[in-house]
Chains A and B, each alone.
Chain A
Amino acid sequence: MKILPQKTQTNQSMTSGCITIGLVFIFLLLGPLLTPINHTSQNLSASLQPPSSSHWMGTDYYGRDVLARLVFGGRITWIIAIASTFMAVNIGTIIGLFSAYQGGWIDLIVMRLVDVMLAFPKLFVVLLIVGLGASSTSLLIWVLALFSWMEIARIVRSEVMSQKNRTYIKSVRALGLRTPRIVFIHILPNVLGPVIVSSVLLISTIILVESSLSFLGLGVQAPSASWGSILNDGRIDPLGTWWLSVPAGLLILTTVIGFNLIGNGLHKQLDLKKIV
């Protein structure tokens, strides 16, 4: 019996996730309107001031406006996270698709490679590479992407495995279509659901990794900033200079929770459609 479409249930996880992420996004977008001060302009005489009317979020050691730095750093964090997720998803999807569709020894080798890469502790390897190389934002994006595609590849592969023996794939193969066409036009759209869910979750993982790196001083380098490095600024006296670490920490927390909520929501949404 087919279960007929139900009245669309309110997807609370999705709604709250979207609101959270939306608020953070608006903050990053319109942030410069709140504070006219440049995030790099130093004023050593106004070092480590608590929040006031001129600096809503106080200042750091160099007297830079924390609010401006939060906005700027947040943008960097988001750009790094989204760009490397985008790259990781592309790499993972293409590798997963072809590895599974070809099967045989190609699949075997690729999947063992994935296993090996998953066996490394991600943060440690990224730390090593970033520490050795000259640290730059684009390098960071690349390295994060190169160590995040494996989960996506695995998910894609298992989905393709279940799709490739379906009758419709047999039928289009029998029509004589070329392999890339079968893979991209026929298999890919049918495996995208789980990929979208896990890539949203991957964004929050990468935000955490990037923040950890920057907190350790290996990520985004001064005078540029990211939420992780701002967090680091308040490390020495977290109670005395709470306006440095607490807002940055809260922003990381909300963003990660927000993306996780959206991921959960998408999961539910896509699952519901499957039943219909």
Chain B
Amino acid sequence: MDYLGQLLANGLVLGAIYALAAVAFTLVYGVVRLVNFAFGELFMLGAFLTASLMLPEVRLLGMIVPMPGFSLPVAALGAIVLTGALGVLVDRIAYRPLRNAPRLAPLITSIAVSVVLQSLAQTIWGAEELRFPEFHLATLPPVVLFDSIYLSVMDLVVMATALAAMLGLSAFIARSSLGRAMRASAEDQMAATLVGIPVNRVVAAAFAIGSGFAALAGLLYAQTYGFAHSNMGFLPGLKALTAAVLGGIGSIPGAALGGLILGLVEALGAGYLPNGTAWKDAISFVLLVGLLYLRPQGLLGKPELNSAGRGSLLGGASEFGAAWLRAGFAKVDGLLAKSAAAGPRAALVLLALAVLVGLLVPSDYWLRILTMVVIYGMLASGLNVIVGFAGLLDLGFVAFWAVGSYLTSILFVLVLKDQFGVAPADIWWLLYLNLPLAGLLAAGFAVILGTPTLRLRGDYLAIMTLGFGEIVRVVAINWMDLTNGPMGIRGIPAPNLFGIALGSPRAQFFFALALAVLVVFAIARLVRSYVGRAWVAIREDEEAAEAMGVPTARYKLYAYAASGFVGGFVGVFYAHSQQYISPLNFSLFENILLLMLVVLGGLGTFVGPFVGALIWIVFLQLALDLPFVQAYPETRFALLGVVLIVLMVFRPQGLAASARVALTMPGARPGALPGARAGRAKEAA
């Protein structure tokens, strides 16, 4: 009982914090239908700003800067106001231009903003933790309830603050005219505009309040755990989003309820499950996945939010940019479209070019980079099946990649070498067995993970797949016996063929290239058949596809399976080429990166993922030569984020908007058909 009581008390404190951050997600989603992933980072900034304002001096960018040394309430207020203003600024720059763009563009920018803020924070405050200064209330003796439950005074302050903030917000939304305008905009933005509500101002207010709530949650969190760190916002951000979805995104009481439930479940799970503290992060995501499966709209939400527009995930056109910029984009688009539509002969030319590059590039360093380009191109091709062709947003693709990498590493290192003392060189052939085996295993996983997502659309689908990706990562970190945990697996042998080690960068490049040929060939054959036509039909109009006799649920699963197969297949080679893997290799960030590569090079094309990978990885390497980036290596990722935001704002339809591939078998074209020839002749005449 005492133990339970203490767990409940801890759960309530954590739940109060989650609830505050969940309000941020829900408020903004309710008004603009945007999952603003950047709230996790605003949460973190709230903590850093408060801590900095409370200290007499802080080390910023490596320099000691004097600070006012405010008390906690004053510093907190300052941090909330600053973060709120930052939230409005982010909306103005990155989201407002995309108000009418289809779903992928704002989602990508929000992730990009998140990447920018996190790497900027790391650049400014450094990679170390910043200790959160002690507030004098924290030195008071704890309050003891029922003789056995200890609650510090600050815990009570946290709960009281959260409660007051929630009640205040509810009253504000219910009573004030701005609150009414917010509710009206949430119901129907167009109608709200028509009756004279300044929707942009209302949205800015939602961002200001939401960011303030995120900052408040962040500073309370940092206060409770005693530190601030540049990636402290990531997990709490995802959990707050989980809480918002649990309660029904868009509903403020739902967010409060979801936060409390999540806090309690996590505290109880950590306390009662075997090794619970290690698994508590997985608990939230299992809860998320389970709830989305049973009740997609959340506990108090509206079912219509589980919807998605038709067509490609990208689209629309920007209202920004000078004529030369548009013309430039149009030219790039035309070029990429032409390369995407090119036939088998062009593919052979490209391959010959790649072989030539592999033979002629003298430096091992650049060969390694080019190998990475091919690996990322292959992975992005796998993701492209589900995202580009079938039009389903998948933020959990890295899980399939991880399955492949771990399967081969566990077999080679943890089982055969460590348990049975078999030298990897003696069983070199296992690699070639593992490639298809891992593909099948990952495809099986993909079908298992895909099945519960079939009823979900749009943002909900993205969130559920994200949950799956996180679960796999948490398992990889915590299932020590299977995966070696965060230490990762070392000593994975380089590929080997009939006893000839293929460890040299040049050999690896050609190995990767050979696999890429297989991957692209297989995907192209599937896409240029009735299967690919069914996928694209689902992407363009699911109902119409169904009415044409396409069992859409089954074909979505096929897309998951094909995408998973590629992920697992490439994962095997990835592990052998890196010779070391750890859960860090398979983060959400990698998934976003892959998504971006596809967007850069062209959704739903064969060459696009490789073009994207080439652009990005070469850009990253060249960026390393910039003096500024050399001084602050973290800014590379900020640069990635900025590039993405700029691209999405000026070109929401992606670089290769009009790129597409033919969806019929090349050999079956009716050159021989008399009717067709007559038609062609008529056209020519």
The answer to whether A and B assemble together is no
Q: Which residues does B use to contact A, with CB under 8 Å?
A: none
